[in-house]
Chain A
């Protein structure tokens, strides 16, 4: 290669190095909009380093290969009056460029293998959380030795108005939920990932956790949470209509705060238990029902009960018919359709509220009240 070739290589290298520099510094400066984020966990950092290594290797190979190519394009063109050479093979060169990439690959495989083995190192976790995907929300269930479990659903909180552009979009547009998963900091956590209906995938980039949630199977993945903070992610496996609308928010808090939160949750659960025994008046049920409806049913049955994926509720034969038929669909769903069994997802108070709401909103005006005890009895009677 002559002097010109070197110049050319330098010229070609310059923008690439620049780009690499920008990418790397952007990532380190927290401007993670064009590169993978190293995240907040040990594993995340390792994956990020691995990513940068292979990216770097590819860039270097690319610069060399394209450098040669562009050199040839510039200097070996007909308009320069060259006469073409006639060589068409060279066993030596061909063997070389079979072996050299192979060696490069081995060099890549080494850190890849160690990182993978680290990820799979599933030693005992301090906390087990079942993560269960539903169309289109997540359910989190804490299991600990004492047996008093806490479980709740986590739904998209972004209002329809923002999605349909009638209101300005908030900062965490589409990445906000009504109830985040709360985890203690500096703790080894094991996620037991599964699904209720179709395959989902639980992905929080900053925690470097992505595992498919497969109905009927449990996938385990553990991580050690580090700093406190709010980490957001999304469902990463096409799971139907609202696949884009089932975000994940993980709130990592100090251990004390976590203990406090957990105690509150347990108290809340007890409260609901107490509510079960209560009798409600129409207004209470309608307010509660409206919010339950918006969180659970609106996606399919529409804001005004006009239907969508689901059949219309406004004027529906079932919602204006026999109460027990209506309860039945709410609790057991319609097998083989998108209408799931909500019996296991909503507590009896919420179920009573939403059924009451459906029977009285959208111009259905049935005027009847359903109490938690009715739901309880209906479930019993099955």
Chain B
């Protein structure tokens, strides 16, 4: 016991029993990629059905199951675990720690996920089909009118929450307690900062989601009336509880992405990050505001006008700290000496497209205008701009950026750049036209649509296939790198990169920082 100087164990047991942050990070990343493929496959089914008006491939009930599972799996299975994986790999390396603070719990947080998503996906084969009430599962569609598989869905959400809470507690404990001497809070890399705040958000709101599904469970099986007016409850209560979780959730998705981009842009601009302090404060302000804006998803439920105004103003305010971030990134680029390797391309793609998505978010936040936008494809366009071009692009950038460090091999740059350009074009072709159909009145979550929406939907579907196909290139590139990439042993893979992780040998050793480094 206690001697860690040897490398990883051999065989399957290494992964099952590991307590090593890098192994766990790797598992998180592969798992999330698998979920990305699954969720992406469901999206392809959706886009294929929407290729033309009329019902061609699937029936409406199954379409709703696809939409629901696509949203759930992308949000909870692909994006969130991917950033947890990144956190596992990088936080100890960035703050000079030997590992995560609570390594066994770390392993548990991960291993809960695969069987839970297996259970969730298996609802597709259950009687009555998978959940078909959207990823927002509004009552009473998700209670009285739900298929029996909803019970499995509810328990899956419970344990997913458990996993997230444990993962976040671990990250908080690591950041608060494991920093190398001299690594003060205001010296931490921004990725660590954004994750610290994200973890706080997670610990605060996952229990709220647990409360929401618990009430559903009680309504379905034990005769309570939380979401039924007949017994004195209110279906809208569900929406309040859900969005009290749901809005912070979208910042849980995007804050680590901000962190990633804040590491990459300075590296390729060869210039320190502009406005570090204001970045930290902006992140904290976004987190704070995220708790008081939830009802902007509910402008049409018939709130009193004072409520609408409050939530409108609060939501609009988020543009200020987010703007600070955007301006800081651009100032970082200003008068730098930029090069445009794949991670930088994806970061710039992120910057441009996320900002576009932010603008549409701001438009949505204007309550009277949202009366027309709400539940139309305009909303779908908005959140794919912030989540796909935001979170997924930055995640992709992160993989290209740190992969050489992790495995000591360089990816194929040409292929990487090709991946970027196809993704960029495919993505915009998919989601830009959705603004148009949304404004023209196409509701979301419909399997079939009126004829005037046909052209843009076809465009959108073609774009989706292009974007989806470009991910094959990515997958291939990553595997090829790991297996047979150009070996590199330079500590600083990128000449402009700064931070403790770049002081380690390449590839990063199995155990990092057995003795803490000195930080000036």
Contact = CB atoms under 8 A, between A and B. Distances in A.
B133 to A, nearest CB: 7
Contacts of A90: 275
Interface residues of A, number: 93
Given A88-B272, A89-B277, A97-B324, A109 B440 contact: no
Given A89-B275, A112-B368, A165-B54, A32 B440 contact: yes
B235 A68 contact: no
Nearest to B376: A236
Contact of A84 (B234, B271, B356, B359): B271
A256 interface: no
A169 B270 CA distance: 59
Interface in B321-342: 323-324, 326-328, 330-340
Contact of A94 (B54, B230, B275, B450): B275
Contact of A199 (B138, B278, B441): B138
A164 B60 CA distance: 12
Contacts of A236: 300, 374-376, 443
Contacts of A208: 371-372
A76 B319 CA distance: 28
B135 to A, nearest CB: 10
Given A47-B369, A69-B333, A233-B441, A219 B54 contact: no
B369 A35 contact: no
A162 B52 CA distance: 13
With most chain B CB atoms within 10 A of its CB, the pick from A78, A79, A109, A197 is A78
A238 B436 contact: no
Contacts of B55: 163-165
Interface in B162-213: none
Interface stretch (B347-355, B399-407, B410-418): B347-355
A54 B369 contact: yes
Given A102-B320, A108-B316, A88 B375 contact: no
Contact of A116 (B138, B368, B451): B368
By DSSP majority rule, is chain A's interface helix, strand, loop, or mixed? mixed
Contacts of B332: 88
A244 B371 CA distance: 19
Contact of B452 (A33, A50, A217): A33
Contact of A65 (B312, B355, B456): B355
Interface stretch (B118-126, B301-309, B464-472): B301-309
Interface stretch (A170-178, A268-276, A365-373): A170-178
Max chain A Cβ within 10 angstroms of own Cβ: one of B61, B236, B340, B372: B372
B439 interface: yes
B440 A34 contact: yes
Given A115-B368, A173-B450, A174-B450, A164 B54 contact: yes
Contact of B145 (A117, A198, A235, A245): A198
B-side binding surface: helix, strand, loop or mixed?
Answer: helix
B372 A210 contact: yes
B320 A105 contact: yes
Given A51-B363, A113-B309, A173 B53 contact: yes
A240 interface: yes
Interface string B218-254: 0000000000111000111000000000000000000
Given A169-B54, A214-B236, A51 B138 contact: no
B227 to A, nearest CB: 9
Contacts of A326: none
A245 B141 contact: no
B283 to A, nearest CB: 14
Contacts of A79: 339
B20 to A, nearest CB: 35
A76 B336 contact: yes
A46 B371 CA distance: 12
Contacts of A162: 54
Contacts of A382: none
B448 interface: yes
A84 B337 contact: yes
Contacts of A51: 363, 369, 372
B439 A34 contact: yes
Contacts of B362: 54, 58
B450 A85 contact: no
Interface in A200-224: 201, 203, 205, 208, 210-212, 214-217, 219-220
A242 B336 CA distance: 55
Interface in A63-110: 65-66, 68-69, 72-73, 76-79, 82-90, 93-94, 97-98, 101-102, 105, 108-109
Contact of A78 (B320, B323, B339, B447): B339
B130 interface: no
A84 B339 CA distance: 12
Given A72-B330, A82-B335, A235-B443, 5 more contacts: A35-B440, A47-B372, A84-B336, A88-B276, A109-B313
24 contacts: A32-B441, A33-B452, A34-B436, A50-B368, A54-B362, A58-B359, A62-B355, A65-B327, A72-B336, A76-B335, A77-B338, A94-B328, A105-B316, A119-B368, A173-B53, A174-B450, A197-B140, A198-B145, A201-B300, A215-B228, A215-B235, A238-B141, A238-B445, A243-B446
